[in-house]
Structures are given as structure tokens and as C-alpha cells.
């Protein structure tokens, strides 16, 4: 980098962004940072609070994709491995990692402020928002939250403190009345985020409640959605909430065109007919049991559809066994698949046990259906590529996402769950064929409409671009920069 460019970057007002140790949060935060740098003339330092060491392969791949985007990415040290019991939940481990990193965040923030104008502090929804507010107050800069899930989930979070008081003495999982949010179908207990269903006396619930309460004290909330996808974000606020909410999405991972063209799955897709392939992936964190993995494999075979399956080694105890990238990545054996499955599906199926370029896969003309856990990044990527979904939610707010994508948005069909929450191979095949041969045409039409609207939201005159432009301009003004 030339000396003049170094000096020019140092003079720009800088935004400091803090990410909890969640790949699903880091991806849109990287894209937000990229847009702040490339489109709005800001500098960006993104801190990733790691929960484990070394970082996962997904994280390393993402770092490699950032390239020369002008983002300064810093990985904060993970807390000692014995600082929490092995049974600690995902939300507790994530909150602990961010809380442990607060002294380092404060130190880096002071150093950056001393070197040049600091414009704002942005902390993701999984972070310790109260601590971030304290750091921002010390430095005299605004503190914003970045909510990586949809407005539907944000509107629930903002009501959690009120619900916690109203349902005193009753566990949320035992409540008989659904939660009604303006603009959405009623949310039933089994669809609530997993941490909200935990015992109120548990650390998981305490971390969830703290996260929800922290959102009420920030200067503003950026949410990864757009008004045409969730009209309620523009029509309905949260009663009594004075924090402004700004939809700035859809923000998904952007990689240079052609970067992934040599990947084996894309070469395989090039040989398949248009909209003939089912893509199956449960994200960077999702895992199935051995029995459910077997049933999924047999269901794919039974459907008689072509498929690309990004498979993970099963985990018997949790649906988020790969959440922190700790699911024994060195193991490449596929001995957990049904005997003869690979041989019987050779030519019509491709099974991969590694990172894949999901955005490029969903953009491929051969892909006609996405079997997904309904993580919000995956849902947005699917919509932006007009690919209908089979919704198979696993954890976090994914059951709420699945409901919205089917009922409100009309681009997904939820997989039917049998006794003991088990999904049979017959239902796997049926759900896939409902999209590939039955309801698929209607869903593709709806997804195509939203694809156009998502592109419009991110255009120069789009509502999401304009919202971020206004916020970035405010930050630069407060930092003494040029608007």
C-alpha cells in the first residue's frame, strides 16, 4: 500500500465493529464493513471474538475471501478452554467469549481513537451490548447494534423483557397462548428461540434475557432485512421503544466473480440440467443425529432427484454441534452414511464433507431447491438467487424463520416432523418433490419477485442503501469528517 493511501485511510473516520464467535454473524458483518468502506468512505476495523483456538476452516475461508476490501480484521484471543464447563450452551459460550474480550476491545478502541477519528462502535446481537455501550460512552461515540436475524426476531427480542415480567412463574415453553407480533402469524411455544425455552433459572436464559435487554439501550439498531421482504419493519414499531431501527439488508457474503469456479461442486453442477439439483446444507453449525443423517440420506435416494449434500459428522447431543467449528474437522471418513449409499447415488449425487462456496452454488442455474436449516444468511442467499426452500430448522430462531418463509413470504415448505421430532425418509423425499415437482413453480415465481426487490433495495437509490448512507453520514459528521 502506497504511503499516500495509508495516510488517507488513517484520516478517514473509522467504525469499530465487534462480532461474537458466530460464523453466521461474521458473514454479514464482513459485508457491512465492506460497504461502509467502499460505498461510504469510512474505515472499518472488525474484531472477531473467537470462542475456540485455532479458528475453524469456515472462518479461515472467510478471511481469505475478504481480500483487499480495506477491512482490518482482528481475531481476539479465545478464553481458556477450561473457563466454562463442556456442557455450557452455545449462547453462554458466545456471551462468555465476548465478555472476556471486552478489555482488549477497550484497549484497541482507545488506540484507534488516538490514531484518528473514531466514528461509531457497532456490536452484533450476540455480543455484550451493555459493555459495548460503556466503551462507546468512554470514547464519546455512538453505539449501534447490528441484528443479523430478521425483523420478526428483533421485534420478539425487544418484547422479551416485557414477556419475562408478564409470564412470571411460567416457563415460556409451557405458555399456552402464542405470541402475536404485528404483521406476522402467531408464534407458538415450540417455534421460539431455543434459549428462550430454557429454564428461567438457567445461564442460557439469563444470557438470552441480558442480550434482549441490552438492545434497548443502544443509539440505533441495524437489521439485516429489507422492507419488501418484511413490510412489518416499516409499518409496525415496538410500543414504547425509542431506539431507531434501520433495515440495511440483505447483506450476504460477496466474493469476487470467478473466485470459486474451480471448486469441484461447481464443475459437477455445470454438467447437470437447469433447476434439476437439490442443494442440502445445514450451515456452518448445524448437525443431525446418526439416525437422522441416515434418514436424510435414504430420503434423498428415495426422491430420485439429483443432489449436492454438504454433510457433517453426526452429533447425538446437539443440533449445533459444529457451531464453533469444533466438530473434529480432521475426520474425513463418511462411515456414518448408510452402507452402499455413495455407490448407489454415484452420478446423480455429490456428497462433500468440507467448506463449499454456497453463494455460487445457489446462483448456479442447475440448482432448483435448497434444503436448509433456515439460518438467516442462507435464507437471504436463497431468496437473492430465486431458489425455493425445504425448511428444516434446527436451533436458535430458525423455527421462527421457517414459519415466516412458508407463511408470510411464500418461498419455502416446512418439513413435517413426526413423533419424537423425527423426520422420516418418506417425508424427506415428499418435501423435496413438493418443491421440485409440485409447488415449486409458484415458489420460484415468488422468489424471483423477491430477488428483483432485494436487488432494488441494494441499488444506489434503494431503501437499504439510502438508510445506510444516512447513518454513515451521521457518523462522519459526529466524527468531524466530511459528509
Distance, in Å, from the CA atom of 237 to the CA atom of 245, rounded to the nearest integer, reads: 9
- Locate 114 and state its grid cell: 488516538
Closest CA to 313 of 284, 287, 281, 278: 287
Residue 262 Cα to chain centre, angstroms: 26
219 a catalytic residue: no
Full DSSP string of 396-429: TTHHHHHHIIIIII-SEEEPPP-GGG---HHHHH
The half-sphere exposure of 307 on its side-chain side, counting CA atoms within 13 A, is 28
The half-sphere exposure of 439 on its side-chain side, counting CA atoms within 13 A, is 17
Q: Which of 96, 124, 172, 260 is catalytic?
A: 124
- Locate 343 and state its grid cell: 455407490
- Crossing angle of the two packed helices 376-384 and 440-457, in degrees rounded to 10: 100
- β-pairing, 220-223 with 143-147? parallel
Closest CA to 125 of 230, 229, 58, 26: 26
Distance linking the first and last C-alpha atoms of the chain: 25
Q: Could you tell me if 479 and 271 are in contact, meaning their C-beta atoms sit under 8 angstroms apart?
A: no
Q: How many residues does the chain have?
A: 483
- Locate 97 and state its grid cell: 467469549
Distance, in Å, from the CA atom of 143 to the CA atom of 95, rounded to the nearest integer, reads: 18
124 a catalytic residue: yes
Q: State how far the alpha carbon of 144 is from the alpha carbons of 13, 174, 230, in Å.
A: 16, 34, 21
Name the residue with cell 432448483: 368
Q: Could you tell me if 357 and 255 are in contact, meaning their C-beta atoms sit under 8 angstroms apart?
A: yes
Active site residues per annotation = 25, 124
Amino acid at each position: 500500500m502506497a504511503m499516500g493511501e495509508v495516510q488517507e485511510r488513517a484520516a478517514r473516520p473509522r467504525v469499530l465493529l465487534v462480532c461474537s464467535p458466530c460464523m453466521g454473524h461474521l458473514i454479514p458483518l464482513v459485508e457491512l464493513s465492506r460497504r461502509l468502506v467502499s460505498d461510504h468512505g469510512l474505515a472499518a476495523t472488525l474484531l472477531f471474538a473467537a470462542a475456540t483456538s485455532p479458528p475453524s476452516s469456515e472462518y479461515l475461508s472467510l478471511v481469505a475471501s475478504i481480500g483487499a476490501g480495506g477491512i482490518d480484521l482482528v481475531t481476539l484471543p479465545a478464553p481458556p478452554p477450561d473457563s466454562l464447563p463442556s456442557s455450557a450452551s452455545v449462547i453462554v459460550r458466545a456471551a462468555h467469549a465476548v465478555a472476556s474480550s471486552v478489555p482488549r476491545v477497550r484497549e484497541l478502541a482507545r488506540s484507534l481513537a488516538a490514531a484518528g477519528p473514531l466514528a461509531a462502535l457497532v456490536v452484533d446481537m450476540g455480543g455484550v451490548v451493555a459493555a459495548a455501550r460503556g466503551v462507546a460512552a468512554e470514547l464519546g461515540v455512538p453505539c449501534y447494534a447490528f441484528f443479523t436475524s430478521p425483523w420478526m426476531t428483533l421485534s420478539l427480542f425487544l418484547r422479551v423483557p416485557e414477556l419475562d415480567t408478564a409470564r412470571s412463574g411460567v416457563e415460556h415453553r409451557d405458555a399456552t397462548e402464542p405470541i402475536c407480533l404485528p404483521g406476522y402469524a402467531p408464534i407458538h411455544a415450540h417455534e421460539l428461540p431455543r434459549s428462550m425455552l430454557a429454564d428461567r433459572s438457567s445461564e442460557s436464559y439469563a444470557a438470552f434475557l441480558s442480550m434482549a435487554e441490552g438492545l434497548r439501550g443502544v443509539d440505533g439498531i441495524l437489521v439485516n432485512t429489507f422492507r419488501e421482504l418484511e413490510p412489518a419493519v416499516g409499518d409496525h414499531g415496538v410500543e414504547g421503544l425509542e431506539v431507531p431501527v434501520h433495515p440495511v439488508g440483505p447483506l450476504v457474503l460477496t466474493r469476487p466473480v470467478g473466485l470459486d469456479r474451480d471448486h469441484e461442486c461447481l464443475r459437477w453442477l455445470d454438467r447437470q440440467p437447469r433447476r434439476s439439483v437439490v442443494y442440502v446444507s445445514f450451515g456452518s453449525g448445524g448437525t443431525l443425529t446418526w439416525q437422522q443423517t441416515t434418514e436424510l440420506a435414504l430420503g434423498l435416494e428415495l426422491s430420485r432427484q439429483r443432489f449436492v449434500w454438504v454433510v457433517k459428522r453426526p452429533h447425538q447431543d446437539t443440533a449445533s454441534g459444529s457451531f464453533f467449528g469444533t466438530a473434529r474437522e480432521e475426520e474425513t471418513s463418511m462411515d456414518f452414511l448408510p452402507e452402499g449409499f455413495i455407490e448407489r447415488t454415484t452420478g446423480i449425487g455429490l456428497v462433500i464433507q468440507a467448506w463449499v462456496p454456497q453463494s455460487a452454488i445457489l446462483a448456479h442455474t442447475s440448482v432448483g431447491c435448497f434444503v436448509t436449516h433456515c439460518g438467516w444468511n442462507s435464507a437471504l442467499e436463497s431468496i437473492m438467487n430465486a431458489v425455493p426452500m425445504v425448511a428444516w430448522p434446527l436451533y436458535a430462531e430458525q423455527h421462527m424463520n421457517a414459519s415466516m418463509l412458508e407463511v408470510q413470504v411464500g418461498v419455502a415448505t416446512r418439513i413435517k416432523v413426526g413423533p419424537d421430532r423425527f423426520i422420516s425418509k418418506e417425508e424427506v423425499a415428499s418435501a423435496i418433490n413438493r418443491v421440485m415437482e409440485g409447488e415449486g413453480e409458484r415458489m420460484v415465481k415468488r422468489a424471483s419477485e423477491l430477488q428483483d426487490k432485494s436487488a432494488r433495495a441494494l441499488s444506489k437509490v434503494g431503501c437499504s442503501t439510502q438508510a445506510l448512507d444516512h447513518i454513515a453520514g451521521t457518523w462522519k459528521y459526529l466524527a468531524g469528517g466530511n459528509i
